[in-house]
Structure 1
Amino acid sequence: MPDSSGLTKSKQKFCKSSSSCCSIPSDSHTVPPVLSQSGGICRQNCNSGLLSPLPSDSFKYLGWCDIEDHDVRGNQLHCPRVREGPSKEELFFRGEEHALKKREQVTDTEKWQKKLQENWENCAELNLSFQDLGDLYQVENFKRILRRLIRVERLWLVDNSLTDLSAIRLPRCRELNVNKNHLTSLKRLPKMPQIQHLSLAENNIMTLSGISDFRHTPLESLVLKRNPCEFQERYRQLVFSSLPNLKVLDGIPKLPEDSSPPGPRFCFRLCTIL
């Protein structure tokens, strides 16, 4: 549950409703909490010695829009946690069926209400970095959200292990940061006709192939540092010749020598032997 939602009232309600799932030890028999194999915190029952779930365990895989009695919408959160919880098979493997029961009790009406509450279509600025997308279904859910960002203007997707966003269209996006991902080509970027500032540092982009796709965009600044393509011969000249509107590359403004067209690979000079 992301801290940005600030749903203290809802948290109290869940804790109260789940209080029967755990026993609170008395002051004279206080047992410290321990870390379970599934990564969650459990409190050890002082009588039986067994681990019992904490009150929060029943909703630890729920997103903010799954919690009742609040009116927070997706476009009000600047850095929400949108990663889906473990799959059904993973929950059974972990022995956490109680979380599965809660997730399965969702009607079609509730799904539609959730979609309205997410309200991604009205997001203008959004940070979806560091989502820890470890499974394919989590990546697919992440892309589902990206496809709904039809009005977003500033978007951060840093360190999400993304490899291909070519099926995504961001019609109003002016600033995109996809640093520290696994992109291997400029052709795998989203369609962004209004892009002005694009940062691709620390990916694995090998060549400048596909850079001409941004030729007719208002792209002013581009960051490609710490990509293999940065070591290509006449790298800056090639980039600026492909992008006539570009003003800044890798944080350095356009220099006079960047305007000259890329020359031949080998340069021959005449010399006089005395």
Structure 2
Amino acid sequence: LLSSSSGLTPSNQKFLNSYSSCCSILRDAHHILPVLPQNRGTLGQSWDPRLPFPLPSDSFKYLGWCDIEEHGVRGNQLLCPRVREGPSEEELFFRKEEYTLKRRKQVTDTEKWEKRLQENWENCAELNLSFQDLGDLYQVENLKRILHRLIRVEKLWLVDNSLTDLSAIRLPRCRELNVNKNHFTSFRQLPKIPQIQHLSLAENNITSLRGISDFRHTPLESLVLQRNPCEFQERYRQKQEFKRDV
């Protein structure tokens, strides 16, 4: 390898010059006076003068990843996407955040179809939709809309989403499902999972083992039920280890 008298290779010297330039820019940034965005008047009372002024990017904070223009990312390329939608228009007005509405527009049928193709949930094989903060009903409905499309998913995580009933969902190829820290009270509230091998239901509210026998028709190998009320049932362990030939 060629090296300079300083002991640095040409590539290292190039990196060092670039790094020094970046440091210089960051150093100068401390002396730049803050400039308020031009749309300051549209923010209304949503700005608290005790807090830093809202950034220009705040107008994008309720957009989903597939609503941002000029990128070609598809759903099956993401392992942990945020799929919850932004607040409704009524909620935004209530929060005095109507300034974000300027980024929303009427969507044509063509754009809806393009969005569906971009989401591409049908081709997801492994997906983590945990911690989605589904505080409103329309957020839950949007998640269920996506779950209906996961016809090829094999590994799925839905941890801590306050879910109560997914019995209308069918996941025909799902082999591993983690729904820890939700609000399921019965096995009958789970999605249809005929190929399930590993199911984790820890920290839910399963009170009874009624319905567990339905899994005898599946290749189930492991079932996690820690910290559910059913753990306190008499002969809990014997009932959990059901016979496949029953």
> In which range does the TM-score fall when normalised by the shorter chain?
0.7 to 0.9
Question: Greater share of helix residues, 1 or 2?
Answer: 2
Task: State the shift of 1:52 in Å.
Answer: 5.3
Structure 1 equivalent of residue 129 of structure 2: 128
Tell me, in whole angstroms, the C-alpha distance in 2 between the residues paired with 1:226 and 1:183. Answer: 12
Question: Aligned residue pairs: how many?
Answer: 210
Tell me, in whole angstroms, the C-alpha distance in 2 between the residues paired with 1:244 and 1:161. Answer: 31
Structure 1 equivalent of residue 200 of structure 2: 199
Instruction: For 1:260-271, list aligned pairs within 5 A.
Output: none
TM-score by length of 1: 0.71
Tell me, in whole angstroms, the C-alpha distance in 2 between the residues paired with 1:52 and 1:28. Answer: 16
Query: Could you tell me which amino acid in structure 1 is paired with residue 133 of structure 2?
Result: D
- SS of residue matched to 1:215: helix
The change in CA–CA distance for 1:114 and 1:222 in structure 2 (over 3 A counts) is same
Conservation of the 8 A alpha-carbon contact between 1:165 and 1:189? yes
* Cα deviation code 1:143-191 (max 9, x no counterpart): 1001100000000000000000101000000000000001111110000
Structure 2 equivalent of residue 84 of structure 1: 85
Structure 2 equivalent of residue 181 of structure 1: 182
Worse-matched range after superposition: 104-113 or 183-192? 104-113
Structure 2 equivalent of residue 244 of structure 1: 244
Conservation of the 8 A alpha-carbon contact between 1:80 and 1:127? yes
Task: State the shift of 1:103 in Å.
Answer: 2.2
Q: What do you get for the CA RMSD once the two structures are aligned?
A: 2.7
Tell me, in whole angstroms, the C-alpha distance in 2 between the residues paired with 1:119 and 1:50. Answer: 39
Tell me, in whole angstroms, the C-alpha distance in 1 between the residues paired with 2:105 and 2:213. Answer: 47
Unmatched segments (≥5 aa) in structure 2:
1-28, 36-42
Give percent identity, aligned residues only.
Answer: 78
Task: State the shift of 1:43 in Å.
Answer: 9.1
* Cα deviation code 1:83-138 (max 9, x no counterpart): 11111111111222232232233222111111110000000000000000000000
Structure 2 equivalent of residue 66 of structure 1: 67
- SS of residue matched to 2:93: helix
Tell me, in whole angstroms, the C-alpha distance in 2 between the residues paired with 1:116 and 1:166. Answer: 26
Query: Could you tell me which amino acid in structure 2 is paired with residue 100 of structure 1?
Result: L
Task: State the shift of 1:212 in Å.
Answer: 1.4
TM-score by length of 2: 0.78
Task: State the shift of 1:27 in Å.
Answer: 3.9
The change in CA–CA distance for 1:212 and 1:114 in structure 2 (over 3 A counts) is same
- SS of residue matched to 1:75: helix
- SS of residue matched to 2:115: helix
Question: Greater share of strand residues, 1 or 2?
Answer: 1
